[in-house]
Amino acid sequence: MEIVVKTDEIVFKYTSQPSTDGEGENNETPPKLALDGVSIAIAKGEFVAVLGHNGSGKSTLAKHINGLLLPEQGAVWVKGISTADEEKMWEIRQSVGMVFQNPDNQIIATIVEEDVAFGPENLGIPPTEIRQRVDEALEAVGMTKYAGNPPHHLSGGQKQRVAIAGILAMRPDIIVMDESTAMLDPIGRREVLTVAKRLNDEGITIILITHYMDEAAQADRIMVMNGGKVVMEGIPSEIFTQIGRLKEIGLDVPQAVEIAHKLRLGGLNLPEGIVTGKQLVEALMNVHRN
C-alpha cells in the first residue's frame, strides 16, 4: 500500500493566539504544545477521520499536511516530498486540497465558475483545459446548473460543494476537510459528506477533520486526538467500543453505539462492533427473530 501522507513525531506550538480556526489552542499561559509528537501514516485511497474536541490539535495537524504550517520538530511528507522543501511547496499544495470550515471565507470570485477556475489559473493551466476541468469539477459535485451564479445566493452546503469543486479542478490526490461540515445544517452536512464519499470511491484520499461522531463512523479509519497527541487509532468499531475512554477525553460516541451499549447493559445480547444506525437495526432484527 502506497503511503501518501506521513508525519514523523511532529511538534508545533503557536507563538500567538491562533485566530483562524477558533480552536483557541493556547488561550492559557504558558503556551502549550498544539502538536506534541504526532506520527501518522495515511495510505492512498483511504478515508480517514480525525476526531477530537476543540483544542485537541486536529486543525493544526490539518494545516501541516499542505504546508500552511511547518512543524518545529519532526517532518511531514506528502507523496515522499517534505513540506519543508520550499521549491516543491506548490506541488504539495496542488496534490493536497484543503476545504476549510467557513464556506464564505474561501470563495474568492464573484461567479461560481470563476471561483472554481481560480486554482487551475494559479497553476498556469491553458485556458481551454481550465474550462474543461471547471465543467468536470462542477459536474462531480452536482453544481453545474449554478455555474453562472454569484456565490452569496447559495446555501452553506452548496458553497462547500463549490469549494470542493475548486479543489477538484486542481486534480489533487488528497483532500483535507478541516471541519468543513461544522457550520452547515444537517442537509448541507449530508450533501458534503456524500460528495466526499463519492470522491473517495473514485480514488481520492480523504482526511476528514470533524467532531461529529456520526461522520467519523463512516470512515475507513479513525484517529482520535487529545492534547496534541493521537491517543487512539483504529477502525470505527474498534474505536467506538471503547466508550469509557472516549468519554474520558470529552468525546461522545455515535448514537447507535450509545443505544447498543445501554441495551447490552440492560441484558440484551447484541454483538460488538455496532457503529451505525443501520447495523443497530439489523442486530435488533436478529435478536427479535431468535
In this structure, the number of other CB atoms found within 10 A of the CB of residue 57 comes to 25
Give the one residue of 7, 26, 56, 106 binding another protein; rule: CB under 8 A: 106
- 152 forms part of the interface with another protein (CB under 8 A): yes
Using the rule CB under 8 A, which residue among 111, 147, 182, 249 binds another protein?
A: 111
Neighbouring-strand partners of residue 99: 177
Residues 82, 75 contacting (CB under 8 angstroms): yes
- 127 lies in the binding site for another protein (CB under 8 A): yes
Q: Give the Cα separation of 9 and 35 in Å (integer).
A: 9
44 in Cβ contact with 1 (< 8 Å): yes
By CB under 8 A, residue 90 contacts another protein: yes
Give 120's Cβ-side CA count (13 Å radius): 24
Is the CB of 112 or the CB of 224 nearer to another protein?
Answer: 112
Three cell numbers, residue 247: 468519554
Residue 12 burial (CB count, 10 A): 22
Cα 178 to Cα 50, 66, 111: the distances in Å are 9, 12, 24
Binding residues for another protein, total number by CB under 8 A: 43
Nearer to another protein, 26 or 66 (CB): 66
Which range touches another protein (CB under 8 A), out of 48-56, 79-87, 128-136, 222-230? 128-136
**Is residue 102 a contact residue for another protein (CB under 8 A)?**
yes
Peptide bond into 30 cis (omega under 30): yes
For another protein, which residue of 51, 141, 165, 167 counts as binding (CB under 8 A)?
167
* Bridge partners, residue 232, by sequence: 224
Site membership for another protein, residue 95 (CB under 8 A)? no
Interior angle at CA 102, CA 183 and CA 195, nearest 5: 70
CA atoms within 13 A on the CB side of 95: 17
Do residues 264 and 272 touch, judged by C-beta distance below 8 A?
no
Out of 17, 27, 39, 105, the only residue in the binding site for another protein (CB under 8 A) is 105
98 lies in the binding site for another protein (CB under 8 A): yes
Chain residues 53-72 in contact with another protein, contact rule CB under 8 A: 63, 66, 68
Q: Decide if residue 130 touches another protein (CB under 8 A).
A: yes
134 binds another protein (CB under 8 A): yes
Per CB under 8 A, the segment of 46-54, 111-119, 226-234, 243-251 that binds another protein is 111-119
For another protein, the binding residues (CB under 8 A) are 19-20, 63, 66, 68, 90, 93-94, 97-98, 100, 102, 104-111, 113-114, 117-127, 130-131, 134, 150-152, 163, 166-167, 170
